[in-house]
């Protein structure tokens, strides 16, 4: 459901293979990543709808050692949001939903929220607080939560908004869970049935469906079970079996922000349909891929279920990633040049090499590998960094110390080791990312900055 905290684009080798053709270079890249245990899943790449590369790496089931194949079904995590948004747009064109209606029209239990519209939910501009944080502290985890439980809890607690609607973009799983409930209210169908009847069946996506495998288990052939890696035990586990990831159990009945399941082949059918008016009118399809405009007239980079980028080298790209314990997913559509990259993985300690694949597709040099030098700091110095840092509301980074080794863990994700390259600067070896810590005048660590892909994200220490 949540996007991956560390967006992984590390390249495992240099440019020695650059003279090979594109497909061979992509294959060499992915084989090297799989050999290094940085890739476990299915990859499909197409140009103008023609598949130029499709391959499976690793197992669908680590217990039985069943191998993945092109028809293996993966949980899409936040890549599900594009289907939730499409469902709303279909209902809009049927005259059953108005994007500028207050959400209380469809969810009257939320009438205490004023001026939050359906459009705000779609664009992540609602200001709603994160439901996972609220439920983590207030929900009975001996039960499995559903969307109704989120609405009931919000109705009871009435948590304040984080910011005024349409004044800011802030990624919100809450908004997309509420959208699924709006789909159900407006259509009279379950969210799963609506997607099946209005998207998957018309597009002949025969191996795609909404699935909550713990809340409503059923036998599915060729299912790619998602696994998390325990650094301390040096072994893969189902996330259900680890305390730091067992939220997958009690949050399993929630749909809309995640829980669509699909295959690389079905997602290519989805990609092709989005160039047509099979599901929506021409005007409706155009709206899906338009970014939001905030109150101050500034533009975000999010449309309706898609991140949108106008790139000088690659043209217009619409994409989305997904991360949930056991899964790391990505779909990217190069609209200007009609190229498609689909990556579905069922290990979550993996890399998503989209940048490298793009460079190869456009005959650009691969980025060079960054090599960082580790230094040793005494345990008493490392202890000063231990604490909890808030990246955004409901999304924290915990720094812990064990056997003179610092570890970082983002909300809902695996623990990863971090290594010092100076007294206040640390780096990760699994991805190209750094953590820059900052002191106050009393020589206390008060904040950190996540440095990655040219970005700088601030996190204040809260514990």
- The predicted pLDDT at position 182 comes to 98
Q: What is the mean pLDDT of residues 427-432?
A: 76
What pLDDT shows up at residue 10?
33
Torsion of CA 18, 23, 26, 32, to 10 degrees: -90
CATH architecture of 379-461: Beta Barrel (2.40)
Between CA 176 and CA 131 the distance in angstroms is 11
Q: What is the mean pLDDT of the chain?
A: 90
Q: What is the pTM of this model?
A: 0.82
Spelled out in words, what is the top-level CATH class assigned to the domain 1-369?
Answer: alpha beta
For 309-364, the pLDDT digits (tens) are 998 889 999 999 999 999 999 999 999 999 999 999 999 878 788 989 999 999 98
For residue 459, pLDDT over 50 is answered with yes
| pLDDT bracket for residue 456 (50, 70, 90) | confident
Of 252-266, 366-380, 384-398, 439-453, highest mean pLDDT: 252-266
Question: Is 236 within 8 Å of 59 (Cβ atoms)?
Answer: no
308 pLDDT band (50/70/90 cuts)? very high
Q: Across 220-278, where does the E strand assignment appear?
A: 228-230, 235-237, 260-262
Query: How is residue 73 annotated by DSSP?
Result: B
Whether the predicted pLDDT of 453 surpasses 80 = no
Percent of the chain with pLDDT over 70: 93
Q: pLDDT at residue 377 above 50?
A: yes
- Say whether 187 is catalytic: no
Domain with CATH 2.40.128.50 in the chain: 379-461
Q: Which residue has the higher pLDDT, 269 or 454?
A: 269
DSSP strand pairing (339-345 vs 41-47): antiparallel
Q: How does DSSP assign 395-422, residue by residue?
A: EEEEEEEETTEEEEEETTS-EEEEEESS
- Give the 3-state DSSP-derived string for 142-198, with helices as H, strands as E and coil as C: CCCCEHHHHHHHHHHHCCCCCCCCCCCCCCCHHHHHHHHHHHHHHHCCCHHHHHHHH
Predicted local confidence at residue 372, as pLDDT: 82
Domain with CATH 3.40.710.10 in the chain: 1-369
Catalytic site residue from 16, 28, 67, 78: 78
Q: Is the pLDDT of residue 235 over 50?
A: yes
């Amino acid at each position: 459901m949540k996007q991956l905290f560390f967006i992984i684009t590390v390249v495992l080798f240099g440019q020695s293979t650059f003279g090979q053709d594109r497909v061979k270079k992509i294959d060499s890249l992915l084989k090297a990543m799989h050999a290094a245990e940085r890739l476990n899943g299915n990859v499909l790449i197409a140009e103008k709808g023609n598949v130029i590369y499709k391959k499976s790496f690793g197992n669908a089931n680590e217990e039985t050692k069943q191998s993945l194949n092109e028809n293996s079904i993966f949980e899409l995590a936040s890549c599900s949001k594009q289907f939730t948004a499409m469902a709303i747009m279909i209902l809009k064109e049927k005259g059953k939903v108005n994007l500028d209606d207050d959400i209380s029209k469809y969810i009257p239990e939320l009438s205490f929220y004023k001026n939050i519209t359906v459009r705000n939910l779609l664009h992540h501009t609602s200001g709603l607080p994160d439901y996972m944080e609220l439920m983590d502290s207030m929900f009975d985890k001996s039960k499995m939560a559903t969307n109704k439980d989120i609405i009931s809890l919000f109705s009871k607690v009435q948590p304040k908004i984080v910011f005024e609607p349409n004044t800011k973009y802030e990624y919100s799983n809450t908004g997309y869970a509420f959208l699924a409930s709006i789909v159900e209210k407006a259509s009279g169908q379950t969210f799963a049935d609506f997607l099946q009847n209005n998207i998957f069946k018309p597009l002949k996506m025969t191996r795609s469906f909404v699935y909550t495998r713990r809340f409503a288990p059923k036998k599915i052939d060729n299912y790619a079970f998602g696994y998390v890696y325990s650094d301390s035990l040096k072994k893969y586990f189902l996330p259900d079996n680890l305390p730091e990831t067992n939220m997958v159990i009690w949050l399993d009945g929630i749909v809309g922000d995640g829980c669509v399941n699909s295959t690389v082949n079905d997602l290519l059918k989805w990609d092709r349909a989005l160039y047509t008016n099979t599901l929506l009118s021409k005007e409706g399809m155009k709206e899906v891929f338009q970014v939001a405009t905030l109150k101050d007239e500034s533009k975000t980079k999010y449309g309706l279920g898609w991140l949108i980028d106008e790139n000088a080298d690659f043209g217009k790209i619409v994409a989305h990633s997904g991360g949930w314990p056991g899964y790391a997913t990505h779909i990217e559509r190069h609209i200007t040049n009609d190229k498609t990259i689909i990556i579905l993985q069922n290990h979550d300690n993996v890399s998503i090499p989209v940048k490298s694949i793009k460079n190869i597709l456009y005959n650009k040099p691969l980025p060079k590998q960054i090599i960082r030098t580790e230094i040793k700091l005494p345990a008493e110095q490392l202890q000063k960094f231990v604490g909890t840092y808030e990246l955004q509301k409901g999304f924290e980074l915990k720094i812990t110390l064990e056997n003179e080794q610092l570890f970082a863990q983002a909300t809902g994700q695996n623990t990863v080791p971090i290594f010092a390259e100076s007294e206040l600067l640390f780096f990760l070896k699994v991805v190209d990312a750094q953590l820059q810590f900052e002191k106050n005048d009393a020589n206390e660590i008060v904040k950190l900055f996540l440095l990655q892909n040219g970005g700088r994200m601030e996190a204040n220490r809260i514990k």
